[in-house]
Structure 1
Amino acid sequence: MEQNTELIKPTIELKEQYLEFYREWKDSGENMVPWVISKDPSDFSAMLDFIENNSKGKNLPTGWVPDSTYWLIDPDKKIVGAVNIRHSLTEELLNTGGHIGYGIRPTARRKGYAAQILAQSLEKAKELGIERVLVICDKGNIGSEKTILKNGGEPAEDYIEENGNVIKRFWIENHAR
């Protein structure tokens, strides 16, 4: 598939496009993935400051690690997805979060964007010095599993949450990319 997207840092210039992206997720009733897109964007500047501070490790809640958020845009500057890259892992993230969490807006799915966002996120992770990347998905999320495998994911031991949900874990060696 042709690479027709770009991973960019969130910016005030794309406020209207982001609000449209956010509303679509909210209206779908689905879980908002990655977690950061569930932040209320009504004070857009404050949301951007929060994202920027997280990337620098400033004002993080106890137990949190620094993370970087990017938006995936198409040639028309439409936001088709978002990704959150954690700079390191806690024990909980090792089991249930991984380094990279990404989501594609409901109307943009099944068009190859997930493979593009993960491939470009691996480049960003490499820039952050993350050479071995953990990516996870729920068992049964065949689309995500295929995307992770397509990007070099090697299956690791599954993690079973207290509620019985099975999380599939994959490591991607990022230094040879």
Structure 2
Amino acid sequence: MSELKLVKPQMELKDEYLSFYQEWIESGEDMVPWVISKDPSDFQSMLKSLSDNEQGYGLPEGWVPDSTYWLVNQDNKVLGAVNIRHRLTEYLNNAGGHIGYGICPTQRKKGYATILLELALKEARKLGISEVLVVCDAVNIASEKTIIKNGGTPDADFIEDDGNVIKRYWIKN
């Protein structure tokens, strides 16, 4: 699986990304990380929005800069996406973490999430993030295993207002 890599969102991968996006829409699942729920119908505007987010331009109140990458294989097929928050707010410290990631539904159970998180940790290190918080819902056992495989050390859980339990893990980076 050494042919897998992270790439910045780019116009050259429009068709591959739209295929990834459409598959996720058709699955009916929540889109994770949140950033892939951005409407790609005006692809250039979506790319600009992602770039602006990374630079910290025009962020909504309380938001932090973030970097988005796509996980692609040797054929440039988009398999997953990751969003790296550059710092934590109180909310992110409880329920969001530094890194949110997701693998397209048909590409799961192939080890891609573990590689995606491993590559994302390298990008977080480049941003100067030496301790990375990664979280998942308690019911998401696959994500929890991925975090642990990447060195996650458990911290106190966070319980959301609706009772959902968020498992919180720190990874020394």
Q: TM-score range by the shorter chain?
A: over 0.9
Say what the alpha-carbon RMSD is for the aligned residues: 0.5
- Partner Cα separation in structure 2 for residue 5 and residue 113 of structure 1: 8
- Partner Cα separation in structure 1 for residue 87 and residue 160 of structure 2: 21
- Partner Cα separation in structure 2 for residue 46 and residue 140 of structure 1: 35
Tell me if 1:163 matches 2:152.
no
Counterpart amino acid of residue 14 in structure 1: L
Q: Secondary structure at the match of 1:41?
A: coil
- Partner Cα separation in structure 1 for residue 115 and residue 148 of structure 2: 13
Tell me if 1:45 matches 2:44.
yes
- Partner Cα separation in structure 2 for residue 172 and residue 30 of structure 1: 27
Matched residue, 2:72: 73
Q: 1:140 Cα shift?
A: 1.8
Runs of 4 or more consecutive aligned structure 1 residues displaced over 6 Å after TM superposition: none
Instruction: Please list every run of 5 or more consecutive structure 2 residues that lacks an aligned counterpart in the other structure.
Output: none
TM-score w.r.t. length of structure 2: 0.99
Q: Secondary structure at the match of 1:60?
A: coil
Matched residue, 1:27: 26
Instruction: Please list every run of 5 or more consecutive structure 1 residues that lacks an aligned counterpart in the other structure.
Output: none
- Partner Cα separation in structure 1 for residue 44 and residue 97 of structure 2: 28
Q: How many residues align?
A: 173
Tell me if 1:61 matches 2:50.
no
TM-score w.r.t. length of structure 1: 0.97
Aligned-residue identity in percent: 62
Q: 1:167 Cα shift?
A: 0.3
Tell me if 1:82 matches 2:81.
yes
- Partner Cα separation in structure 2 for residue 68 and residue 41 of structure 1: 17
